[in-house]
Amino acid sequence: MAASLSTLHLHHQLTFFRKPSLSLLNKSIRPTRITASLEFNITFAPPKPKPKLPANLQTDAASLSLPPGQLFIPWIVRGEDGNLKLQSNPPARLIHAIADAKTQPKKKKDKVKKESGGNVKAKLEAEPTRSKAARRFYNENFRDQAQRLSKVLAAAGVASRRSSEALIFEGKVTVNGSVCNTPQTRVDPGRDAIYVNGNRLPKKLPPKIYIALNKPKGYICSLGEKESKSVMCLLDDYFLSWDKRNPGLPKPRLFTVGRLDVATTGLIIVTNDGDFAQQIAHPSSNLSKEYIATVDGVVSKRHLFAISEGTVIEGVHCAPDSVELLPHQPDRPRPRLRIVVHEGRNHEVRELVKNAGLEIHSLKRVRIGGFRLPSDLGLGKHVELKQTDLKTLGWKC
């Protein structure tokens, strides 16, 4: 826009004073009016020319005759004659195609239906997979921690599972002020007040512990207080530092997974997790166990064949998975046999060697499942198992 000021006439002159006199202060002062005549010259840009349509593009006069103010949406279509034309309505074949089109089902829904076997609603409402840290936080803070009363007493270190049941039957256990005589009662130590012989059970149970111990000769796998040389005596130093490492938590009641006789050395696992012990020790787990048997005399092929044939133990025929004669070593004058079994019956390896006509000088277990006894773990020493070690044992923790 261009603007110009033509003329400006002033009809009065303004007089400026430095200091007004006293005589002028008493007089009324009228404001001076300033008048001016303004003239503007405003011009606008010329309108843009309308775009020219291609020569081969025809227009439908009937379709372009729209009422004033109505929005025009052009459709460029090809007519039956093959020429392009401009119209305001969509082609008829497009409208028919939209009307006849079928809604396509979602691919995700079809996949969920296939995975869930038709129960789509149950699959969609299922809890989504969370991270390991999120599951641990949920289990520790929100999940129902109710367990059987006898199991809670055993986990708290009161007594074994059977001894805890005996205490419950004798009426020595109260739950929330009432005597409980049912070992299967579901309780939560964090919420329920549990007393055994008048002593309050801690609200927090000790954590799950898994220890690999290199058992020496002369120690038995027993928890009896009368036994002076139990394998639990080898863990005294572990319990001495328990309060420093786990403040506020009761000491766990540990027990061995399976047993080794008093003369057998090597790998034995100690834990306070009953479910873990049941799975590892049960024959249905089919965990292989490797032993190194040092024998007296000379071993021949006949002995190896007799051992591989197996023998009857407690009315059941038992045969090893493999038998191998180890190479002779200068520092080991007696021959050594590697024997692998999976049933783990009482004195199974000793009975197999005895049935072959050989006499065992020493027997050592070196492997359970996929976990092998560390070579640097001395007799009577122990090491805590890591998550990877538990996985090699087939335990899903």
Q: Name the catalytic one among 110, 261, 275, 296.
A: 261
Closest CA to 182 of 146, 205, 148: 148
Closest CA to 293 of 219, 220, 370, 355: 355
CB 349 within 8 A of CB 343: no
Which are the contacts of 177, defined by CB distance < 8 A and separation ≥ 6?
A: 193
Distance CA 375, CA 4 (A): 104
Identify whether 236 is a catalytic site residue.
Answer: no
What are the percentages of helix, strand and coil residues in the chain, rounded to 5?
A: 25, 20, 50
Which are the contacts of 297, defined by CB distance < 8 A and separation ≥ 6?
A: 335, 358, 359
Q: In this structure, which amino acid lies at residue 251?
A: K
In whole angstroms, how far apart are CA 30 and each of 24, 25, 27, 33, 36?
12, 12, 10, 9, 19
Which are the contacts of 83, defined by CB distance < 8 A and separation ≥ 6?
A: 56, 57, 58
Distance CA 364, CA 362 (A): 7
Which residue numbers are catalytic? 261
